[in-house]
Structure 1
Amino acid sequence: MKNSQYRVVGIMSGTSLDGVDLVYVTLNVNEKGWSFELEKGQTISYSAAWRTKLKTAIGLNKEALDRLDEEYTLLLADIITAFIQENALETVDFVCSHGHTILHRPDLGYTLQIGNLPLLADLIQHKVICDFRVQDVLLGGQGAPLVPIGDRLLFGDYTACLNLGGFANVSYENALHYRIAFDLCPVNVLLNEQANKLGLLYDPEGSRAQAGTVCQPLLEALNALEYYAKTPPKSLGVEFVASNIQPLLELHVLSPEDYLATFVEHMAIQIANGIQLPKQAKILVTGGGAFNTYLMSRLSFYASSYEFVVADDLLVNYKEALIFALLGTLKVRDEVNALASVTGAQYDHSSGVIYDIFDPVW
């Protein structure tokens, strides 16, 4: 018999490299559906050394990647154990971890999230559900985005859910009641890099971007990138930035403020163009970019017919970690947690790997 309540730790590390997000959540399910209580949320920032390791890992060979995978698993184990102990979490049914994406090329049939080794369960002494993307790619899908099943089950009161993290992605039900979701454009993965040049981890409220000047030739080149003309399902990774955006930046040498201003304009245009919804659609906004008031103002300018609702701070920061807790719970229940209509996989499926202590189960 399946349980009606689960107390779960969810973990997410995004491409913006802010750190490791952890939540402790109670998930309830009954005949009316799913509900949640987000009880604890914490972000453990990466050290400068770890940010550099993760940012440059895309260029590593297999042997070096394997070493990094082990090192990162040890790091996650320490972070998770400290979170459980410091918050005196007496009941943890299991831990659900996304890991950190290093490689994502579904078009070539592979994706890699480090920190998903069986060792993790033994180190933290809890059942672990992880490695959610690989199976979807093997089934011909993009392996992303995976969050939309959570948008459907937990946030169905909204027309759509927009996440402004390392990349922007949107999720909504189409006219045939299929969940549609896809990546729209890079966000914090670009903004934070320029903020770093100014000695900042990020651009508070977009003030530096607002002080800059938009470079029209660069803006036009960014908007002309082939990805934006593709139809979903589609997804983005750091490879896209390296191969498509970085060459454009080398052709347009600007101050960090002007890069930021141009990027924000580009993001607002692409997000507005990518969201095709009825007027007065109510859109829940989460992710670190939701705090960028300048980005939100430019987005509202280009998409003035929509109502953008920025979630409360806890949900803004931890929605993805919350939903990965749900994804792991669905896996434990052997229920669908990856939607073919979203990823392009051959069929809906229950993705992820379950590691019991000393007893891995696929």
Structure 2
Amino acid sequence: MSGSSMDGLDIIHTTIEEVAGTWSFTINHSDCIPFDEKWHASLPRLTALTGKELLLAHTEFGRWMGNVIHDFIIKNHLEHKVHLIASHGHTVFHEPQQKMTFQLGDGASIAAINRLPVISDLRNMDIALGGQGAPIVPIGEKYFWNEFHYFLNIGGICNITMHQENKHIAFDICPANRVLNLLCNELGKSYDHDGVEAAKGSLNEDLLNTLNDFEYYQKPYPKSLSNEFGVDIVFQKIQQFAISNQDKLNTYCEHIAMQIANVCPAEAEPKKMMITGGGGFNQYLIKRISFYLKNKNIEVFLPEQNLIEYKEALIMALIGVLRWREEQNALGSVTGATRNSIGGALWMGQD
């Protein structure tokens, strides 16, 4: 899968097992393949293409993905050991209010190159049923880690899952790494390693108040964000402030931490929150999140590095396995769809 932070294509080989209703996994191999200069430049501009140009890019990106996956299989000696490929692709459009979502990366091309079954278009069925098509990771959190009450993913967009009263609630909170990385680009860096640059800055109260005032934060769930909200609205608003980039980074980290705390209720008993995604490596951001959540009686937990980096890719694999088994892989209670559903297009790559 390619996340909203656009750092590359995440690929894992995982073994997923289900015994008497209990699910388990092992991540055998993993890698993040950076986008080459062409895709790094073109992916952010896809929304401006004509219909024909977008479809051609869909096929080309699918073939690029197919070849990268093939190389991954060869490199890790996985010939005849892969049963199926689950591909999320790269989100270009996400307009659930118009019952439309589009992820770049033609599944048929991936299947043809690898001669394996491919499951793609993982969000479309939920969207068609009136859901947000996001977040879709709660199905994996339900099956793999039922000992946690909270799950926070800090990728290009920060999203949360909460287990409350025998149901799962999940939604996008705010843009995260997509905005932080753009601010770091202004410093000649691709990202803020360990949050060092943010830690150098100072909080700007005027910017913080402006960020916290966006209408999205007042909307009830289910709700979700597009990449454009972070790039075209939030980042552009930040750039209107004549302050240092370190101050912008510091203030935006504070904004993320505050918005996370705002959506979490105060707990009477101690609860645990698992944090994954690239933002889990931003030590300054994690420090600020921990500060606010401590007042809510919620303890932050960071799993091993492999899971921080590849949890979402792992859950895409589970969604693919459930689709192959023709079992529900999207929760309507989370997305707002009229019912749970079995989503994903299946492309048979074998002879």
Is TM more than 0.5 here?
Answer: yes
1:296 aligned to 286, 289, 292, which one?
286
Task: List structure 1 runs of 4+ shifted beyond 3 angstroms.
Answer: none
Residue 49 of structure 2 is matched in structure 1 by: 60
Deviation at 1:337, TM superposition (A): 0.4
2:306 aligned to 294, 314, 319, which one?
314
- 3-state SS in 2 of match to 1:13: coil
Deviation at 1:319, TM superposition (A): 0.5
2:116/2:350 contact within 8 Å kept: no
1:129/1:354 contact within 8 Å kept: yes
1:265 aligned to 228, 247, 254, which one?
254
Task: List aligned pairs for 1:121-136, cutoff 5 A.
Answer: 121-136=111-126
Q: Summarize deviations over 1:236-277 as a string: whole Å, max 9, x none.
A: 111222453144234323332122111101000001111236
1:104/1:239 contact within 8 Å kept: no
Match for 2:281: what amino acid? F
Residue 15 of structure 1 is matched in structure 2 by: 4
Q: Summarize deviations over 1:55-114 as a string: whole Å, max 9, x none.
A: 121222212211211111111011100100000013100001100001111112211101
Number of positions where the alignment pairs a residue of Structure 1 with one of Structure 2: 347
Q: Summarize deviations over 1:183-219 as a string: whole Å, max 9, x none.
A: 1111101011111221211100101011112221111
Residues in 2 aligned to 1:22 and 1:118: alpha-carbon distance in whole angstroms: 18
Residues in 1 aligned to 2:21 and 2:120: alpha-carbon distance in whole angstroms: 27
Task: List aligned pairs for 1:62-81, cutoff 5 A.
Answer: 62-81=51-70
Residues in 2 aligned to 1:61 and 1:344: alpha-carbon distance in whole angstroms: 31
2:103/2:121 contact within 8 Å kept: yes
Greater CA deviation, 349-358 or 320-329? 349-358
1:170/1:275 contact within 8 Å kept: no
Residue 332 of structure 1 is matched in structure 2 by: 324
1:225/1:244 contact within 8 Å kept: no
Residues in 2 aligned to 1:14 and 1:158: alpha-carbon distance in whole angstroms: 24
Residues in 2 aligned to 1:247 and 1:199: alpha-carbon distance in whole angstroms: 18
1:99/1:115 contact within 8 Å kept: yes
1:228 aligned to 217, 220, 224, which one?
217
Match for 1:217: what amino acid? D
Residues in 2 aligned to 1:249 and 1:204: alpha-carbon distance in whole angstroms: 21
Residue 86 of structure 1 is matched in structure 2 by: 75
Deviation at 1:158, TM superposition (A): 1.0
Q: Percent identity?
A: 39
1:105 aligned to 95, 116, 120, which one?
95
Residue 174 of structure 2 is matched in structure 1 by: 185
1:214 aligned to 203, 206, 225, which one?
203
Deviation at 1:32, TM superposition (A): 4.2
The answer to whether 1:137 aligns with 2:134 is no
Unmatched segments (≥5 aa) in structure 2 = none
Residues in 2 aligned to 1:54 and 1:255: alpha-carbon distance in whole angstroms: 28
Match for 2:10: what amino acid? D
Match for 1:322: what amino acid? L
- 3-state SS in 1 of match to 2:61: helix
Task: List aligned pairs for 1:342-361, cutoff 5 A.
Answer: 342-357=334-349
Match for 1:257: what amino acid? Q
Match for 2:181: what amino acid? N
Q: TM-score, normalised by structure 1?
A: 0.93
Match for 1:349: what amino acid? S
Residues in 1 aligned to 2:21 and 2:203: alpha-carbon distance in whole angstroms: 49
Residues in 2 aligned to 1:47 and 1:280: alpha-carbon distance in whole angstroms: 45
2:179/2:235 contact within 8 Å kept: no
1:24 aligned to 13, 31, 44, which one?
13
1:116/1:131 contact within 8 Å kept: no
Q: TM-score, normalised by structure 2?
A: 0.95
2:130/2:336 contact within 8 Å kept: yes
1:16/1:165 contact within 8 Å kept: yes
